[in-house]
Structure 1
Amino acid sequence: MKRLLPFLFLFTLLNTYAQQKPRKVILMIGDGMGLAQIYAGMTAKGGHLALERCPIIGLSKTNSADDYVTDSAAGATAFSIGQKTFNGAIGVDSTGKPVKTILEEAEAQGLATGLVATSSVTHATPAAFIAHQKSRKMEEEIALDFLKTPVDVFIGGGQKFFMKRKDGRNLIDSLKAKGYFVALSKEDLLKYRAPQPLAALLAENSLPRYSQGRGDLLKKAALIAIETLNRNPKGFFLMIEGSQIDWGGHNNDTQYIVEEMLDFDNTIEAVLDFAEKDGNTLVIITADHETGGFALVNGSLEKRTVEGKFITTEHTAEPVPVFAFGPGAEEFQGFYHNTEIYHKIKKLLLSH
């Protein structure tokens, strides 16, 4: 028996390690979400946010290959391909060469995949996971890239890049020919039933802000995506972006930031509830960069009010937090470059 003990210990250790590898990964990106944005939302919610449920916290260095201050395209591409690239780049390396993204790698291994955003689906962050273009401004070309990768679900805005194109093509017909259920309104989206692949383009460009008609659509879209992708027994990769936290920063609008933070956190809560019940899902919550140089100069937790000031209408270079929940979460503690998020996800999800 004594001779067996070392082997039993090794077996237990390896078994424990194997159990720490998730079959599903949900990457949630709060665009422009720095610590001040998080605490502004926390204040407005009376002192607590759902993301506090994450037991692991790290910090991400956000610089791009060609600039101390990244833009969203280079920041999201760092997450998607694991390499620093130049500002404006979508799914290409610093020389402009296309590189297979984590979403495309997941597809190649038979996992289900999805993208959800409150921007256009052709906007920098979602685009960086599925497209390969040298400029984020090439949104019609990015829309064409959606026809090249069989992503199972994508939900956001961007109708005009699929329907009102300079080349005269109507990509909606192409999506339908590929078997997609195409939703062009909230009402259409509610008619959708899995397992048919879903292409939901719910606005001509980006979705409206939370307080101007969007409501809890991000949360509903996230849950629809999860329900659909979860039908795949091999697992899934899903990216969910709270796109407009960034826009509140660009506008130097504290209220806009708070509204979008609360909406993003309500979505986080629903995602964490799923992950907790599921037991095989890793959730990573982070930002591509901070926007506005946002600082909290006054406020009240009791009154749920906050006063903010800004030093710029652009992005800043400060590191951003990374929160992780679920099997493999411990991989995300520490201080590392944003490119490591790709490598950590690949190690956990795609190296079984």
Structure 2
Amino acid sequence: MNIEKAIVVCLAFTLFACKAIPVENKDTKTPKNVILLISDGTGLSQISSAYYFKDSSPNYSRFKNIGLIKTSSSKQDVTDSAAGATAFASGIKTYNGAIGVADDKTDAENIVEIVSRKNIKTGLVATSSITHATPASFYAHAVSRGLTEDIAADLVTSEVDFFAGGGLKFFKDRKDGKKLLDALNQKQFSIYTNGLNEFSQIQSDKKVGYLLSDDAMPTIEKGRGDFLSKATAQAIQFLDKDKAGFFLMSEGSQIDWGGHSNNASYLISELIDFDDAIGQALDYAEKDGNTLVIVTSDHETGGFTLSAKKKINSEGKEYSDYTEIGPTFSTGGHSATLIPVFAYGPGSEEFNGVYENNLIFEKILQVTKWNK
């Protein structure tokens, strides 16, 4: 073979290889499943606390793709959980207190409604009531987050396949007398109120709902145990049983409440619990290879800071001991700080950069192709 022919052959081989590579990458970057983990009220300082107070290595360290979101709602610089979660669930900016509705109070289609039409299974887990602002935004439409009974009724008519959290009283002891537990049974839900079952006990169920407390679940410090991790793992197992693809939202709800009460031990214990749930999602995603895991928050709460501990010296003067952390707070409400986004799996690189919170929704639909 002369030199000219050899060059032509090499060029042809190179062009063929270049054309083949993008096709392969395109396939591997389309996730079949999405797990969205939301740590309510969590900013960078809350996340940082895991690195100082958790006994084992935080699961946050397992992410390579990290971005930041701007969280302001449509009318307020400082968002609340309802507007923040609606941005994630429906891809719109709306007013504080809105559950799945736009500024003009018309219903905004959410991701559960979109993907259910494609036979993709959906699930929600929370340590709050399942009717609380964040989980509610993924299935309900209400002009105010305070319309809890209306929100509970929306769960009955939604296409959710699995849910776990508190809020039994909103389905059972209602002012309007409606028996929503019976209505859930009629929608093929098996409802459990005494604790999480083994997967073998629910495997043949059509749909599953856990309502394990009258309102919110107990705190970690008051004995909730590993509910969030176990419910997240079981939701994954249940939603994946027919291999049709799934979307799961799992929330560490009470990190926010620790911030509101300026209670550092409450906040940190809930954050560490949430980090354990991240581990469950990542363990599954690593084995599966077709699952996108996104971890973020709706907003920061408390103006939480990992400051040096204040102490008094022998002369009675206050000083900062830089060898010990003494968490502090600047507010009992929310703040407008940018919020980290962590992503792992196919399409995770799309979540890098700085962008508005409602683009989480757009990016999920884009990388999964669920919008087509």
Q: Partners of 2:17 and 2:197 in 1: how far apart? A: 55
Q: Which residue is 2:58 aligned to?
A: 49
Q: Which segment drifts farther, 277-286 or 1-10?
A: 1-10
1:287 shift after superposition: 0.5
Counterpart Cα distance in 1 of 2:172 and 2:251: 23
User: 1:140-186 CA deviation, whole Å, 9 max, x = no partner?
Assistant: 00011011122110000000110011110110011111111101121
Q: CA RMSD in A?
A: 1.7
TM-score, normalised with respect to structure 2: 0.90
- Residues 328-349 of structure 1: CA deviation (Å, up to 9, x unaligned): 1000000000011000001112
Partners of 2:306 and 2:56 in 1: how far apart? 14
Q: 1:178 aligns with which of 170, 181, 187?
A: 187
Checking the alignment, whether the CA contact within 8 Å between 1:43 and 1:305 is kept in structure 2 is: no
Gaps of at least 5 residues in structure 2 are 1-8, 310-322
Query: In the TM superposition, what is the alpha-carbon distance from 1:351 to its structure 2 partner?
Result: 4.4
Q: In the alignment, which residue of structure 2 is the partner of 1:315?
A: 334
- Contact 2:101–2:107, Cα closer than 8 Å, also in 1: yes
Structure 2 CA distance for partners of 1:12 and 1:190, relative to 1, 3 Å: closer
- Confirm or deny that 1:141 pairs with 2:160: no
Q: What's the CA shift for 1:18?
A: 2.1
Displacement of 1:6 after TM fit?
Answer: 2.8
CA contact (8 A) 2:199 2:234 kept: no
**Contact kept? 1:254, 1:307, Cα under 8 Å:** no
Aligned to 2:176: 167
Post-superposition offset of 1:11: 2.9
Q: Is the Cα contact below 8 Å between 1:80 and 1:129 reproduced in 2?
A: yes
In the alignment, what sits opposite 1:40?
49
Q: Cα deviation per residue 1:173-210 (whole Å; 9 max; x = unaligned)?
A: 11111111101121667784124210111100000001
Q: Deviations over 1:285-342 (max 9, x none)?
A: 000000000111126xxxx974211111000000110000111100000000001100
Among 272, 281, 289, the residue aligned to 2:291: 281
Is residue 111 of structure 2 the alignment partner of residue 102 of structure 1?
A: yes
Gaps of 5+ in 1: none
- Partners of 1:117 and 1:66 lie apart in 2 by 27
Higher Cα Rg, which structure:
2
Identity %: 45
Equivalent residue letter for 1:183? Y
Match of 2:236 in 1: 226
- Does 2:264 match 1:254? yes
Match of 1:294 in 2: 304
Q: 1:184 to 1:309 in 2, by over 3 A?
A: same
Structure 2 CA distance for aligned equivalents of residues 192 and 221 of structure 1: 14
**Aligned partner letter, 2:299:** H
TM value normalised by structure 1: 0.95
Q: Residue 242 in 1 paired to residue 252 in 2?
A: yes
